Amino acid sequence: MADKTQYDCDVTVIGAGIVGIACAYYIKQTSPHTSVLLLDSGQPMALTSAQSGENYRNWWPHPVMTAFTEHSISLMEDLAGHNNILNMTRRGYALATRKSDTDSLTEELLQGYARQDNEAVRIHDNTTSSYQPALLPGWQEAPDGVDILKNRALIKQYFPSFDPTVNAVVHIRRAGSISSQTMGQIMLERFKSAGGTRLTLNVSQMEEAGHFKICDKEHHVSIHCQQLVNAAGPFISQLATMLGSELPVYNTLQQKIAFEDTEAVVPRGMPFAIDLDPQTIDWTDEEKQLLAESDEYRWASEEMPGAIHCRPDGGDGGRWIKLGWAFNNLPQIPQRNPALMDSFPEIAVRGAARLNPALKTYYGKLPRNTHHYGGYYTMTDENWPLIGEMDIPGSYVVGAMSGFGTMAACAAGDICARLVLGRELPDYARSLALSRYQNTELMSTLHAQSQRGIL
Ligand SMILES: Cc1cc2nc3c(=O)[nH]c(=O)nc-3n(C[C@H](O)[C@H](O)[C@H](O)COP(=O)(O)OP(=O)(O)OC[C@H]3O[C@@H](n4cnc5c(N)ncnc54)[C@H](O)[C@@H]3O)c2cc1C
């Protein structure tokens, strides 16, 4: 049966998550006369983008990712504007460790920021130091660079909820939180006011014959366009396969919890706090024994990786906190409604209690309205995104945004617009394309890195 409805446009963007919306928005902003269709099988911002922890940072093991997120943060600041409509905060990320020798950490920081000098990193090893705490949530006045606190009394003064065994706190300053749903909504509204069109359509087939034909076979709708952008989140591989392309990506399910801190144990002014060190979860001996005997859960009784994180949510006057721990590294076939792990909330609160011991009050009794949620980190092995041409000229992928898609969406959208419209790219952007896999020197550097920036 012939298609009942046909649309024609210059560019079609598939996926109205934060990434696809940003692509459509920046294409239309840069070239108002280009006709752009933004497609999604469901509601905008409803799949992975609805699960984001809404954190951002410019802290990465490699300067390319630093440049990428720096670019994105600047674009978010432009969007937030003087009225801070994105509710952008900048209390930073506080990375805590029990190690007292921080030389290798400092070395990694300098490599990530591509700095040889030590000026980007300020060391504070006595109580009379000039360390500026993040007293206010706002971003306009916040300092840049990194502070390393190496004095226990100083750490106690500014991070009173942290466990006293912490020997160093690395405070990343250009980092904080953002309201990602508002960001998506604003870009979508501006896209539509600029003449962009959004359609609900499930892409089930794509062909190339001088132009692209994108079909929703069930509803007999087709679209003809000159260029297409695959921003289908966890389904980018599925979409690429329709055009005969393969993408080197996989999906891992990651989870978070948010709950009302009824006992007010986490200070409202605490930055996004990350426990860097691996740990064995604080189970009772009996619990540990039971876990060790279970084939399914033995892993939870063994050493867990670092990077459990916790932050206050909902502003200084709020009471909620968010906890996350991206320890799952098992690739999965993506589902629209993935099953979450029942034990995750208890694992997360026990893990987070090592850095913030007062959280122990919630052991076995998290509030009833605890929100447990999750989605996929769609990622490459090196945890860099894919932004660039796919095999067929005129087709692009913007995805594999792992746990950084909210913070990096604006830069990804801007790069996508430049690719589609043939404009100049930022220097770092070529390294994010599929062609990087031909650069053996870059790929061996990335594979040799001990950190991939997964949070
Ligand atoms: C638990 C968790 C916490 C996170 N925390 C953070 C954080 O703190 N900071 C941060 O920066 N990032 C974070 N992320 C990552 C971030 O949420 C994602 O990288 C980002 O949302 C990905 O956006 P997207 O637009 O690529 O994908 P999605 O939001 O999944 O959007 C893809 C869209 O494509 C549509 N689609 C798919 N297939 C088709 C088809 N065949 N036809 C039509 N439409 C289709 C889907 O319906 C969907 O709406 C987190 C992710 C998770 C899971």
* CATH architecture under which domain 5-54+180-248+381-448 falls: 3-Layer(bba) Sandwich (3.50)
Taking the C-alpha atoms of residue 230 and residue 112, their distance in angstroms, rounded to an integer, is 29
Exposed, middle or buried, 193 (CB in 10 Å: 0-12/13-18/19+)? exposed
Chain segment 234-261, per-residue pLDDT in tens: 999 999 999 999 999 999 999 999 999 9
Ligand 1 pocket member 203 (CB < 6 A)? yes
- Rounded average pLDDT over 184-210: 97
Chain segment 357-378, per-residue pLDDT in tens: 999 999 999 999 999 999 999 9
- Rounded average pLDDT over 98-125: 89
CA dist list (Å): 110 to 98, 121, 407 = 21, 8, 21
CATH topology classification for 89-175+251-377 = D-Amino Acid Oxidase; Chain A, domain 2 (3.30.9)
Ligand 1, atom 12, lies closest to the CA of 404
Ligand 1, atom 53, lies closest to the CA of 375
Query: What average pLDDT does the chain have?
Result: 96
Q: Calculate ∠ Cα 390-391-395, nearest 5°.
A: 45
Q: Are 323 and 272 in contact, with CB atoms under 8 Å apart?
A: no
Q: Calculate ∠ Cα 90-94-95, nearest 5°.
A: 145
In the predicted structure, residue 1 carries a pLDDT above the cut 70: no
| CATH 3.50.50.60, the chain: domain bounds | 5-54+180-248+381-448
Chain segment 260-280, per-residue pLDDT in tens: 999 999 999 999 999 999 999
Quick one: which of 435, 365, 442, 378 has its CA closest to 408?
A: 378
Ligand 1 pocket member 419 (CB < 6 A)? no
Ligand 1 pocket member 19 (CB < 6 A)? yes
| CATH 3.30.9.10, the chain: domain bounds | 89-175+251-377
* 220 C-beta neighbours (distance < 10 Å), count: 13
Exposed, middle or buried, 46 (CB in 10 Å: 0-12/13-18/19+)? middle
The pTM of the full predicted model, rounded to 2 decimals, is 0.97
207: phi then psi, degrees, rounded to nearest 5 = -135, 160
Chain segment 163-184, per-residue pLDDT in tens: 999 999 999 999 999 999 999 9
Mutate to test the pocket of ligand 1, among 38, 45, 47 (most ligand atoms within 8 A of CB): 47
Cα 365 to averaged position of ligand 1 atoms, centre (Å): 31
Chain segment 279-331, per-residue pLDDT in tens: 999 999 999 999 999 999 999 999 999 999 999 999 999 999 999 999 999 99
- Rounded average pLDDT over 325-354: 97
Cα 49 to averaged position of ligand 1 atoms, centre (Å): 4
Ligand 1 pocket member 235 (CB < 6 A)? yes
